[in-house]
Amino acid sequence: MSAAPWTIAGIHAALQAKKISAREIASGFYAEIDRRNPELNAYLTLSHERAYSQADRVDAAIARGDKLPPLAGVPIAVKDVISTSGIRTTCGSKILESYIPPYDATAVTRLENAGAVILGKTNCDEFAMGSSNENSAYGPVRNPVALDRVPGGSSGGSAAAVAAGLAVVALGTDTGGSIRQPAACCGIPGLMPTYGRVSRYGLIAFASSLDRIGPFAGNIADTAAVVAVIAGHDENDSTSAAASVPHYDVQIEGPIQGLRIGVPEEYFGEGIDSEVKEKVLAAIALMEKLGCRRIPLKMPHTEYAIATYYIIATAEASSNLARYDGVRFGLRVPGATLLEMYRKTRERGFGSEVKRRIMLGTYVLSSGYYDAYYLRAQKVRSLLARDFSDAFQKVDAILAPTSPTPAFKLGEKTSDPLQMYLADIYTVTGSLAGIPGISIPCGKTKAQLPVGLQILGPHFSESRILQLARAFEKAGGFGI
């Protein structure tokens, strides 16, 4: 059975009507993965035993006539930076090639408690550092829309799995655009929740003040269903917000007439592909036709966002990745002295992009440079956050491109790190401000490459941005 047509609602209805079992659904997805994954390289590890065990529990509950939980039997993929008990978790790195976590991330626990079937772990840029999924130690992921193109990064495997029908939904992580940008490249919705909305417990850290877990899905209803399950306070994460979780599935159907949508001029300047600009402006015009009011915005500190992000993110990465020393877990390369063991382990275990970011981060934190770089970047981060708080006094949401270009060719930017970093120019702003954002498809270029529309909202306004996304989807906006 082809995996592609399934949605959460479709699976729920089919299971309730006993037209198919959860085990058969899982088996169908594994058959599709066996067929497509060799060319896509979206999955790194499959968890057959755990998936079938969960599917059998769902089937037993149906046989007993129990009420089904919201994600019963739904096949889900999990990015390989999120801990899964007993399932290899590599972070796309050689340094964790054989690492098997002893516990589940809170998001994974909540998915399984809601009946979800975890198919396996998806490929990603090493330690989530990248915009193209070409930095994985296990090879690049190919975009299912165009196999010679990148799927976006760092959550490229999760985005490709959903876009190719190898999972109904998938978890990714977003530090500077790593959910939204792959969603745009692969032509599917991808949601970055507010910082603190979803527990980071069990997420292997890249930059702790920026990292967030969120879902990819084929439609807005499924996106809302997953975030409703994984959101909420968690005492294991001190940054987890105590805010209550709304009924997203109900609220997404609310009216959008009269909502004020802000369009920042800084997101449509130099560097944006003409076809991307055309599609995003057409999407904004459709939102106006649906009853929204368009308001022009100025966000003056946007130009400093990339520099600010790459100082703060690399500084936090330098600190977080110091734990990979060959002593406690992961790869160990023996050396004559402790220092030599550290050096050899990290030299062999880390890829070039991770080494680059560790060196950058160590430099900006070093004596004599801390004030000039890191401290100044934190001050600019506050100014960027103020740009958003000022904007949200005037508008209910902000609409912009997700990425300045469609998916680029594999290998096109690997020799120029700066060009690669600039792929995140429209996404790092929302990351630095801690606000939620979603990328949704808004048509394709002449070369049939997807374009993403980004919707950003104030803190904890996931309902509002999902509502706008759902209205746009219902109006046929995904294919404009």
The CATH number of the domain holding residue 456 is 3.90.1300.10
Contact 181, 216 (CB under 8 A): no
Q: What is the pLDDT along the chain (480 residues), one digit of tens a residue?
A: 444 479 999 999 999 999 999 999 999 999 999 999 999 999 999 999 999 999 999 999 999 999 999 999 999 999 999 999 999 999 999 999 999 999 999 999 999 999 999 999 999 999 999 999 999 999 999 999 999 999 999 999 999 999 999 999 999 999 999 999 999 999 999 999 999 999 999 999 999 999 999 999 999 999 999 999 999 999 999 999 999 999 999 999 999 999 999 999 999 988 999 999 999 999 999 999 999 999 999 999 999 999 999 999 999 999 999 999 999 889 999 999 999 999 999 999 999 999 999 999 999 999 899 999 999 999 999 999 999 999 999 999 999 999 999 999 999 999 888 889 888 999 999 999 999 999 999 999 999 999 999 999 999 999 999 999 999 999 999 998
Cα–Cα–Cα angle for 288, 290, 296, nearest 5°?
20
Assign 250 to helix, strand or coil: helix
Is there a single domain that holds both residue 243 and residue 283?
A: no
470-474 contacts: CB < 8 A, separation 24 or more? 470/220, 470/221, 470/224, 470/252, 470/253, 471/256, 471/287, 471/290, 472/283, 472/286, 472/287, 472/290, 472/440, 472/442, 473/219, 473/220, 473/440
The reported pLDDT for the residue numbered 105 is 98
Could you tell me if 132 and 20 lie in one domain? Answer: yes
293 and 221 in a common domain: no
Residues 472 and 451 in one domain: yes
Where in the sequence numbering do the catalytic residues fall? 79, 154, 178
Amino acid code (one letter) for 302:
T
Q: Based on the fold, state whether residues 221 and 123 are members of the same structural domain.
A: yes
In a domain, 3, yes or no: no
Q: Tokens standing for 310? A: 């790459």
Query: pTM for the whole thing?
Result: 0.97
373: in domain:
no
User: Is residue 355 one of the residues assigned to a domain?
Assistant: no
Residue type, 129: M
Question: Has residue 475 been placed in a domain?
Answer: yes
